[in-house]
Structure formats: C-alpha cells, structure tokens
C-alpha cells in the first residue's frame, strides 16, 4: 500500500480545517532548510484530545462538528480546573495496607484541543478510524488478564509480581508509554525534539529520554538477527517529506499497542514507516503506518499535527527514581511470607 504523503495531507487539512495548508507547507519548506531539505528541528508537542481510534459510538463520523469540538475542549478545561480543587487531590495520609492508587488527575497532561480539522480519530486509514482486526492466532495481551505469559509486551501494568519481567515495559523503564516507535499520545511528557544534519536525524523523546539516530546515507539495515528495543531505522527524503523505515524490533515488544495496557503480536514481525513534514512554521505533520501481515488483517495509518513546543526538553530519568518497582516487588514478597506463616 502506498503511504499518504505530505502533499496529500496538506490537501486533507486544507479541506477539513478551511485553511490553505498546501500554501503553508510550501512557504515553510522554502523559508528554513538544512542542506537543502526542510528544517524539522525543534521541540514538538504531540498532546491532543483526539483519540487514537474513533470511539464506537461515533460510527462512521469522520469529523467533529464545531459544537462537538467546543464541548470536548470545554470539558478538558473544566477537568483541569477540577484537578486543582482539594476534593480531587489524593488524601493524605495514604491508607495502610490498601491500594494507594497512582497519579491523580493533576499530574496528567492530555492537551487542551483536538487535532486540526477536528477528526474523530488519529487513525486515517482504514476509513473507520479503527485498528484493523488482529489475526485469529496472533498473541494478544492485556493488563492483569491472568492469561498472558512472558514476555510482557504492553507498556503499563503487569501479569504478576514474581519479578520485574512480569511488569510492563514502561514500568521497567525500558520504553516510554508514549514514545513508541510509533509515537502515540498518552499521559504526560508528550514532547519530542528533532536534531538534523545532512546525513543524520535524531529523534529524542522526552519520555524515558530515548534517542533514535536515523542515518540518511542509504546504508543497509542491520542484519536480521540483530534486534533492538527501538528497531533499526533508516531514513530518506521523498521531496520535502522525511521518511523513516524501521525494522529489526525485538520480540520482547509488540507489533502494536492499541493502548498502554494492551499489546498485539510481536515486534519481530513489525515494519514501521514514519513520515515527518512541515505544514507551516509552527506545525510538524507526523504520520505512521504499521505493516505486519502476521498480526493484522491489513496495514493501518495514523496522522497527527504536532505543535512547536514553548519549553525546552527535560530529562525523564525513569530508573533513577523507580521506587514503584522496588516497592511492588517487596510488597509481593511480604505477602508471600505472610501467606506461608498462616496455618
């Protein structure tokens, strides 16, 4: 399947948002270039209220109405206000021996608006805005489902507490829950920074501070047996669009995670294609296509405009403060000891 390129998407955004996006894309690419190519550098913010998949209750509705956009964004503003109220703050002291919970709403940063054009989902292909069905025999995992086995491929949660291998990849600080690849909005720390030279691009995610170094010199991918958490990326330019092809993911990751608490298939069979292009001086269009005929009935594509960030990146030193993992496993051992001492 041929991927939708920047020119096509500029037309889509112009039609849906009522703005001359094509002209903006051309103006931005001509105004700032690195070695003759569009300058993609900077901090880009990918927070959005638009979900990855179209909600089931919206059926075949591809676009939100202005009234629906206003309601969604007003609800988000009210949630932010409510998070500052004492009634929404986790009470102290925390309960002894009970579930202390996770972050309260104050710490989440989901964004204040939907994507340009008011689409009902980030997924644009297939037309129903949903992740295609997985194949019948493919491995599917979900948090705390009591069925999943190691390796745990989803990002948040776990299948048990016997060891760190039973916990999600983000809980183990191996991969961020929104950093991908592919990059999918979730939670907080929803920023990436791009560095660009004539022969390399670096994609740095704030979450777990992973940096992908993408050669642009036409070199071959890694050999088949060499597998990496973030895969092996190779980039090239198609006109003013940077195309990044990534393979050689490890089987310890999923082919795709529809949510941070679920996983489908194995990364070992994933071929990921990402596209980066400038829509205007303040907007970077990011698009990814997941191709894995061993896991899904068909490839699928998502697209998201990212806005220029107004702040620098901050290090998210996950493992340096990962007391949650230590406490979780320590608590599990305490429970085991208590259980063996009972008659």
Give the integer Cα–Cα distance in Å for 3 and 5. Answer: 6
CA distances from 342 to 96, 329, 337 (A): 21, 21, 9
Q: What are phi and psi of 116, to 5 degrees?
A: -55, 135
Q: So where are the chain's domains?
A: 6-64+114-341
pLDDT tens-digit map of 33-42? 999 999 999 9
Q: Decide if 176 contacts 210 (C-beta within 8 A).
A: yes
> What string of DSSP letters covers 29-59?
HHHSEETTEE---EEEE---SS-SS--GGGT
Lowest mean pLDDT among 4-18, 97-111, 317-331: 4-18
What is the per-residue pLDDT for 310?
86
DSSP-H helix ranges across 57-116: 66-83
> What string of DSSP letters covers 289-335?
EEE-TTTBSS-EEEEEEEEEPSS------GGGG-HHHHHHHHHHHHH
Lowest mean pLDDT among 89-98, 167-176, 232-241: 89-98
- State both tokens at 26: 């051309």
Specify the pTM.
0.86
């Amino acid at each position: 399947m041929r991927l939708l390129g920047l020119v096509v998407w500029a037309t889509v955004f112009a039609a849906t948002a009522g703005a001359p996006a094509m002209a903006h894309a051309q103006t931005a690419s001509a105004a700032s270039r690195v070695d003759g190519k569009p300058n993609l550098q900077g901090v880009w913010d990918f927070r959005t209220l638009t979900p990855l998949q179209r909600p089931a209750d919206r059926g075949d509705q591809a676009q939100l109405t202005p009234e629906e956009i206003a309601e969604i964004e007003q609800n988000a503003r009210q949630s932010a206000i409510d998070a500052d109220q004492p009634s929404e703050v986790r009470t102290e002291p925390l309960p002894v021996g009970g579930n202390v919970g996770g972050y309260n709403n104050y710490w989440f940063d989901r964004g204040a608006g939907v994507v340009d054009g008011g689409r009902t989902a980030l997924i644009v292909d297939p037309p129903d805005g949903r992740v295609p069905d997985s194949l019948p025999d493919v491995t599917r995992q979900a948090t705390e489902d009591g069925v999943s086995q190691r390796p745990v491929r989803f990002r948040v949660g776990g299948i048990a507490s016997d060891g760190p291998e039973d916990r999600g990849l983000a809980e183990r600080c191996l991969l961020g829950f929104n950093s991908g690849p592919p990059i999918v909005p979730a939670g907080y720390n929803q920023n990436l920074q791009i560095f660009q030279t004539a022969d390399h691009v670096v994609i740095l995610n704030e979450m777990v501070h992973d940096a992908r170094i993408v050669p642009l010199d036409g070199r071959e991918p890694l050999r088949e047996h060499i597998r990496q958490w973030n895969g092996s990326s190779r980039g090239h330019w198609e006109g003013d669009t940077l195309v990044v092809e990534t393979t050689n993911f490890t089987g310890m990751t999923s082919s795709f995670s529809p949510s941070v608490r679920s996983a489908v298939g194995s990364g070992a069979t994933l071929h990921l294609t990402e596209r980066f292009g400038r829509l205007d001086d303040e907007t970077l269009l990011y698009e990814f296509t997941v191709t894995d005929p061993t896991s899904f009935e068909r490839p699928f594509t998502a697209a998201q405009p990212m806005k220029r960030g107004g702040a620098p990146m901050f290090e998210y030193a996950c493992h340096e403060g990962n007391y949650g993992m230590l406490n979780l496993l320590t608590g599990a051992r305490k429970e085991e000891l208590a259980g063996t001492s009972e008659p």
